[in-house]
Amino acid sequence: MSELTLTVMRLGFLAVLWLFVIVAVQVIRSDLFGTRVTQRGARRDAGRPQQAARQAAPPQQRGQQAGGRQRRNAPTKLVVTEGTLTGTTVALQGQTITLGRAHDSTIVLDDDYASSRHARIYPDRDGQWIVEDLGSTNGTYLDRSRLTTPTPIPLGAPIRIGKTVIELRK
Amino acid sequence: MSSTTNSPTHHTSTIGAIGAPSRRNTELALLIFAVAIPVFAYANVGLAIDNRVPSGLLSYGLGLGLLAGVAHLVVRKFAPYADPLLLPLATLLNGLGLVVIWRLDQSKLLQAIGQAGDKAPNQLMYTAMGIALFVVALIFLKDHRVLQRYTYISMVAALVLLLLPLVPGLGLPVYGAKIWIHVGSFSIQPGEFAKIVLAVFFAGYLMVKRDALALASRRFMGLYLPRGRDLGPILVVWVISILILVFETDLGTSLLFFGMFVIMLYVATERTSWIVFGLLMSAVGAVGVASFEPHVHQRVQAWLNPMNEYKLSRSGAPGMHSEQLQQALWAFGSGGTLGSGLGQGHSDLIRFAANSDFILATFGEELGLAGIMAILLIYGLIVERGVRTALAARDPFGKLLAIGLSGAFALQVFVVSGGVMGLIPLTGMTMPFLAYGGSSVIANWALIGVLIRISDTARRPAPAPASNPDAEMTQVVRP
């Protein structure tokens, strides 16, 4: 076997080996799932049409679920207004939102006063959003009152969990 | 967008949940790649040594492909959400190990001293047994939390496995280290299996005790000092690992055993002080034993002065002197950056254990620094996927078990590669998947099987909440 062929095979083998490593790392990169965080602000214009489309769709879905009754003043997003996550928004698309320190929560609170599964926010049959305390240690507050039962959330009312305050907005 | 305008100083982001895809097709594609690379290497070795494509290429490729295919189908059926990388990475390492073992089989030098000749078919058989154990683990271990029930049984089993080589008649010292047992014509290294069983015990034990270990402590100079009575378990494990070092004279098993416990203790309690204590205790233990135990002392001398050891061995000086380490260092050196090419090195000059403990030297010579880096990265990726599994696992037992298994795997890779490269004293352990040896291959396939089981549980999407019967639409029945 000629020297040249062997050299080519030697370098080719190393290249293939490294290609495998790189492909594996790419798989890891695409494998990071859980919550998708879309950074806005820097490329706000690029993100906007998508965002608009995403927010336009849910009310229709909810409307259909609620037997064709379209709610006015239905909130479209949940906004964190105080705490370490200030500025974070979550689009309300009919899914249940869990809050707590557990890492599989929709909003993971880094707060010593929050329980691991602290509260959840979900739509009822009419598309009205409800907040429910999940037996947390320090309680969930809607405006100034501590929650004891699942309670409908008025638009813009502050929900306080430890140092974090969230509210629903249109 | 009001949030953006209200608080421009804060970061603004949107969070949306994404379901976990199962990624089985990714795994299949990577697996085909992982089988193709060793086949390429096999052809390369044949062309370099005999100037022709080896006749066994087809059967070898089909054998490895078949084993990988079976493993993939079982994962697809029994662990559909498992990590897509663990199986291909392990298959690639196993395949490369097979190729290099076959390459060393061709060496006349090794054949002459009975160290090579028919090792590759044996290794393929061990691989088949390993995959069989992997399959059994996936089929019968439906949920890793079942292992939690066997916490103390695993403790006893692990101790028995670790002590078996000391039983007279069963254990046999192989070149100083007593880590082998002989059953009939088979020789088994029980330490390889003990690491899995031990991880189960440590995980079950620490899950129960971690609050006591983590919370009851005083703060002193930035370190949390545990209470005296909480030091009990770490002292017991330390004493056992020192006993292993003294009686089995194997640094690797001892380091693996103690290191795994310290890693799991740290993960369970989040206290850095355990790492400090662990490092201090292992340093004290290692130095103490190295000064009293002759075999360990000799290993340390060989590590500090490999060239001197080589000269003593060559001149036929009395006592056990080994030229292997210096030979291995020369092999790494002559490989350079890009290596001499598969089948074109002279790593068979290491002679004894060239295809087991010192197989990494052959990789170093024939694939060079570039190849060694890729191989160490592949090991690193396996460990990374293990740690990732631990992060994603929802139950504390699964977390600790995944950390323990991947920590043990990482420690083993470190101890072996560090030993062969002269970073730490040489031990009698083998490189997982690459090296020749049944126990190692079989035990590590089982380890990957357990990790895949935990990752399947961890990545499985949460079941849909049960529908509430009260919320169902009420049907009005009119007459």
Give the DSSP letter string of B276-335: HHHHHHHHHHHHHHHHH-HHHHHHHHHHH-HHHHHHHHHTT-SS----HHHHHHHHHHHH
Q: How far apart are CA B24 and CA B462, in angstroms?
A: 18
Nearest residue, CB atoms, B33 vs list A23, A38, A41: A23
How much is the pLDDT for A54?
A: 43
Average pLDDT rounded to a whole number, residues A144-162: 88
What is the rounded radius of gyration, in angstroms, for the C-alpha atoms of chain B? 25
How much is the pLDDT for B172?
A: 66
Contacts of B3 in chain A (CB under 8 A): 79, 81, 87, 89, 169
How much is the pLDDT for A59?
A: 41
How much is the pLDDT for A47?
A: 41
Please check whether residue B54 is in contact with residue B106, taking contact to mean a CB–CB distance below 8 angstroms: no
- Give tens-digit pLDDT for B442-467: 999 999 999 999 999 888 876 666 66
Q: How far apart are CA B420 and CA B431, in angstroms?
A: 10
Residue B128 CA, chain-centre distance (Å), reads: 18
Residue B259 contacts A where some CB pair is shorter than 8 Å: no
CA B348, B350, B352, B357 torsion: positive or negative? negative
Low-confidence ranges of chain B (pLDDT < 70): 1-21, 115-116, 169, 171-178, 184-185, 216-230, 317-320, 353, 462-479
**What integer best gives the mean pLDDT of chain A?**
77
Nearest residue, CB atoms, A41 vs list B4, B20, B89: B4
**Which two three-digit tokens encode residue B332?**
């790494």
Integer distance in angstroms from the first to the last C-alpha of chain A?
73
Please check whether residue B437 is in contact with residue B126, taking contact to mean a CB–CB distance below 8 angstroms: yes
Please check whether residue B31 is in contact with residue B92, taking contact to mean a CB–CB distance below 8 angstroms: no
Please check whether residue B309 is in contact with residue B301, taking contact to mean a CB–CB distance below 8 angstroms: yes
Q: How far apart are CA B363 and CA B434, in angstroms?
A: 10
Instruction: Give the total residue count for chain B.
Output: 479
B12 versus A116: which is more confidently predicted?
A116
How much is the pLDDT for B9?
A: 43
Nearest residue, CB atoms, A27 vs list B11, B84, B92: B84
How many alpha carbons fall within 13 Å on the CB side of residue A59?
14
Residue B92 contacts A where some CB pair is shorter than 8 Å: yes
How much is the pLDDT for B38?
A: 93
Lowest-pLDDT choice from A40-44, A103-107, B471-475: A40-44
Which of 309-328 (B) contact A at CB < 8 A?
none
Does A71 have pLDDT greater than 60? no
Element (H, E) at A89: strand A88-91
Residue of A nearest to B27 (CA): A27
Kindly report the backbone phi and psi dihedral angles of residue A138, in degrees, each rounded to the nearest multiple of 5, phi listed first: -100, 0
Q: What residues contact residue A125 under an 8 Å CB cut-off, 6+ apart?
A: A65, A66, B471
How much is the pLDDT for B87?
A: 95
Contacts of B84 in chain A (CB under 8 A): 27, 31
Nearest residue, CB atoms, B13 vs list A28, A40, A106: A40
How many C-beta atoms lie closer than 10 Å to residue B362's C-beta?
A: 26
Does A27 have pLDDT greater than 80? yes
Q: How confident is the model at residue A48 (pLDDT cuts 50, 70, 90)?
A: very low
Q: Do A35 and B10 touch (CB under 8 A)?
A: no
User: To the nearest 10°, the Cα dihedral for B20, B25, B29, B32?
Assistant: 120
Average pLDDT rounded to a whole number, residues A25-44: 64
Contacts of A89 in chain B (CB under 8 A): 3, 12-15
Q: Do A14 and B16 touch (CB under 8 A)?
A: no
Q: How far apart are CA B258 and CA B238, in angstroms?
A: 6
